[in-house]
A = this chain, B = another copy of it.
Amino acid sequence: MSEIPTLKPAGGKRSSKRDRILQIFLRQEGHVSADDLFALVRHEDSRVGRATVYRSLQSMVEAGIARKVDFGEGRSRYEPAHRHPRHFHLVCTTCHQSSEFLSSDVEGLLQEIAGARNFQPKETVVQIVGVCEACRTGTSTPPIDGSTTGLVFARDALRMAIATEQSGLEFYTRAAKITSDARGRRVFQQLALEEGEHLATLKQRYAELLAGDPKLESRPTFLFFKGPANRLFSSGAEELRHGVDAERALLIGIKCERGSHQFFKKYGERFEETEGRRIFLEFAAEERDHLNLLIREYRALRERRKKRPHR
């Protein structure tokens, strides 16, 4: 029964000033300081006081629309939180730009550590402070700041899903080839077909995403992960190489789909309402369907086996 963030705080009045400030804040890219925002607002409406900007920012943070970040400059900066995943920062001390990234592995480790110390984490701050590529070499790689994070996050989520799907396809293709039990083979063939179709859908979606921004593909990675979901299917396929029966193949498939489902579900739930989140959750659902199919099939196989004991 937690508070749902609204633009209108409980009992608050709609105010054109506050709306205007919010509107200007949301259209900014990157990380604005209170004073930056004040200047911007003043530019459009000179009858706004500095205090109002501060008060608006404060209520936006409370409402969950903005996040306060501190890059050690002696003043706070603010970034839009709405439809924008939580993330960490690379802070350049030379150009004072900051680029965003996320690592599921770092998040996981920090969570474990907090657990080990019986600490209830509310927020995690991770900053890599140093000199960015552009400042060091003169080369200008587009930084990942607030303006592009949403898209890049969606791109990386899709890449993750596509990679997993591809492993899954390989796994089921191989499993179908190996399985001698006719019905088991048909299940694997069906799953391979489904994965193939879904893979095509994902690739289509990836292409559409790229079409919206031609530079999107070349932007640096936002979402880093080496986590477990990554290698589930490929290690499953590895196991198949040793030669297994239908029952064993089904069990391996169940393990893979379960791991994959749980990872994508947990990861999707972790985020604000973003395209990336949607991709994760849809993919998790897909994996859950496969998981259920495999479990049903596994039970059926054992049932058949019970009736007709091993030859």
Q: Are A101 and B113 in contact (CB under 8 A)?
A: yes
Q: Are A224 and B116 in contact (CB under 8 A)?
A: yes
One digit per residue, 1 when the CB lies within 8 angstroms of any chain B CB and 0 when it does not, for chain A 68-104 equals: 0010100000000000000000101100000101010
Query: Is A128 positioned at the interface, with any CB of B under 8 Å from its CB?
Result: yes
Residues of A202-219 at the interface with B, using a CB-CB cut-off of 8 Å, are: none
Residues of A35-60 at the interface with B, using a CB-CB cut-off of 8 Å, are: none
Q: Are A119 and B106 in contact (CB under 8 A)?
A: no
Minimal Cβ-Cβ distance residue in B for A90: B119
Q: Are B119 and A131 in contact (CB under 8 A)?
A: yes
A residues near B (Cβ < 8 Å) are 70, 72, 90, 92-93, 99, 101, 103, 105-106, 109-110, 112-114, 116-133, 136-137, 141, 220-221, 224, 226
In the bound assembly, the distance between CA atoms of A103 and B107 in angstroms comes to 12
A224 contact set on B, CB distance < 8 A? 109, 112-113, 116
Q: Are A99 and B117 in contact (CB under 8 A)?
A: yes
In the bound assembly, the distance between CA atoms of A26 and B131 in angstroms comes to 31
Minimal Cβ-Cβ distance residue in B for A134: B118
For the A-B complex with A109-B226, A114-B130, A124-B126 known, give 18 more contacts whose Cβ atoms are closer than 8 Å.
A72-B125, A90-B119, A92-B119, A93-B122, A99-B119, A101-B113, A103-B110, A105-B109, A106-B110, A109-B224, A116-B220, A117-B132, A118-B136, A119-B131, A119-B132, A120-B130, A121-B128, A124-B129
Minimal Cβ-Cβ distance residue in B for A113: B224
In the bound assembly, the distance between CA atoms of A136 and B122 in angstroms comes to 13
A130 contact set on B, CB distance < 8 A? 114, 119-123
Minimal Cβ-Cβ distance residue in B for A123: B129
A90 contact set on B, CB distance < 8 A? 114, 117, 119
**Known contacts A110-B126, A129-B125; is-contact A120 B136 (Cβ 8 Å):** yes
Q: How far is the CB of A234 from chain B (nearest CB, A)?
A: 19
**Known contacts A70-B70, A128-B124; is-contact A117 B105 (Cβ 8 Å):** no
Contact of A119 among B103, B117, B124, B133 (CB under 8 A): B133
Q: Are A117 and B129 in contact (CB under 8 A)?
A: no
In the bound assembly, the distance between CA atoms of A238 and B120 in angstroms comes to 37
Q: Are B103 and A113 in contact (CB under 8 A)?
A: yes
A122 contact set on B, CB distance < 8 A? 93, 129-131
5 closest residue pairs by CB, A with B = A118-B133, A122-B130, A121-B130, A125-B127, A123-B129
Q: Are B103 and A109 in contact (CB under 8 A)?
A: yes
